């Protein structure tokens, strides 16, 4: 394992999105430069709703791209409808903590796009605490790309933001994404429980890093990952019945410790 791969993360300057709100999220300082070749065609998806929409709106400000919000809750959908109205009128008529500073954000209301079907493994319904409508990642991404004028054979996902309050669903959603053809360049995840404190989160975060996402930065429970296309699962054979764990065995072999 080459530790030199970790060095760039320490040199990249970062900033916080939504600093004036209640849910600041770390991002690379030069977000526009990172996505400048796509600009307004950057495909940005945000799953769930946090206590403040400022981080999502600031991404829309910087890149000029649509903000695709996936929110199954009717109550939270209404919050985004209020945000849209404020963006149209440039006036804030309520005292909600959620809409604080929204009137100062320069995002086209038409670029705020809210849907209620959650991208998952399949088109269908999940029976959790209530009924949750799902759509396959392929169907969802192709649909939003088509509306952005991106051809089907070039459909892609550039930036993913995960703001879900239920830690038990974050893992399955991330697994469903990594089971699809899409690998967003960056993923922002707010874990209700940090990876070192909760087994569900440990597995979700571990899987992300093992399939090629490097942890660039974290701020409390907000994590930022960059795709570096190094899948460590490919280092080993999973048909080897002579070792307890093929991946660990290969790592030990690579360091000169034969097992």
Show the beta-strand stretches assigned E in 108-253: 112-115, 118-120, 124-127, 131-136, 159-163, 186-190, 213-219, 222-227
Q: 177 and 251 share a domain?
A: no
Q: 221 and 206 in one domain?
A: yes
Q: What is the CATH number of the domain that holds 203?
A: 3.40.50.150
| Residue 245 sits in the same domain as residue 140 | no
Do 249 and 127 sit in the same domain of this protein?
no
pLDDT in tens, the chain (259 residues): 333 444 455 578 999 999 999 999 999 999 999 999 999 999 999 999 999 999 999 999 999 999 999 999 999 999 999 999 999 999 998 889 999 999 999 999 999 999 999 999 999 998 866 678 999 999 999 999 999 999 999 999 999 999 998 877 899 999 999 999 999 999 999 999 999 999 989 999 999 999 999 999 999 999 999 999 999 999 999 999 999 999 999 989 888 866 5
102 and 210 housed in the same domain: yes
Same domain, 244 and 117: no
State whether 134 and 242 are in the same domain: no
The reply to whether 178 and 254 lie within a common domain is no
Provide the domain limits for residue 205. Answer: 3-228
Q: Which of 186, 67, 169 is nearest to 118 (CA)?
A: 169
The domain total for the chain is 2
Looking at the structure, tell me whether residues 32 and 157 fall in a common domain.
yes
Whether residue 118 is found in the same domain as residue 245: no
Do residue 220 and residue 243 come from a single domain? no
Are residues 196 and 254 both part of a single domain? no
């Amino acid at each position: 394992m080459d530790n030199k791969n970790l060095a760039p993360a320490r040199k990249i300057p970062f900033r916080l999105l939504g600093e004036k709100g209640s849910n600041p999220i770390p991002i690379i300082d030069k977000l526009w430069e990172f996505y400048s070749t796509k600009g307004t065609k950057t495909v940005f998806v945000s799953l769930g709703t946090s206590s403040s929409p400022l981080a999502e709106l600031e991404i829309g400000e910087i890149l000029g791209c649509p903000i695709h919000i996936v929110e199954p809750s009717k109550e939270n959908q209404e919050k985004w409808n209020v945000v849209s109205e404020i963006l149209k009128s440039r006036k804030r008529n309520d005292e909600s903590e959620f809409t604080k500073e929204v009137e100062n954000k320069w995002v086209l209301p038409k670029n705020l796009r809210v849907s209620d079907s959650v991208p998952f493994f399949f088109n269908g319904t999940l029976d959790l605490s209530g009924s949750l409508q799902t759509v396959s990642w392929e169907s969802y991404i192709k649909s939003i790309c088509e509306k952005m004028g991106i051809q089907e054979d070039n459909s892609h996902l550039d930036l993913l933001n995960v703001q879900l309050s239920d830690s038990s669903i974050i893992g399955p959603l991330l697994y469903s994404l990594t089971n699809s053809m899409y690998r967003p360049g960056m993923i922002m995840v707010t874990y209700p429980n940090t990876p070192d404190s909760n087994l569900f989160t440990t597995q979700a975060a571990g899987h992300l890093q093992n399939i090629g996402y490097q942890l660039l930065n974290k701020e409390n429970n907000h994590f930022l990952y960059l795709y570096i296309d190094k899948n460590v699962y490919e280092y080993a054979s999973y048909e080897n019945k002579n070792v307890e764990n093929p991946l660990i065995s290969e790592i030990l072999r690579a360091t000169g410790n034969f097992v």
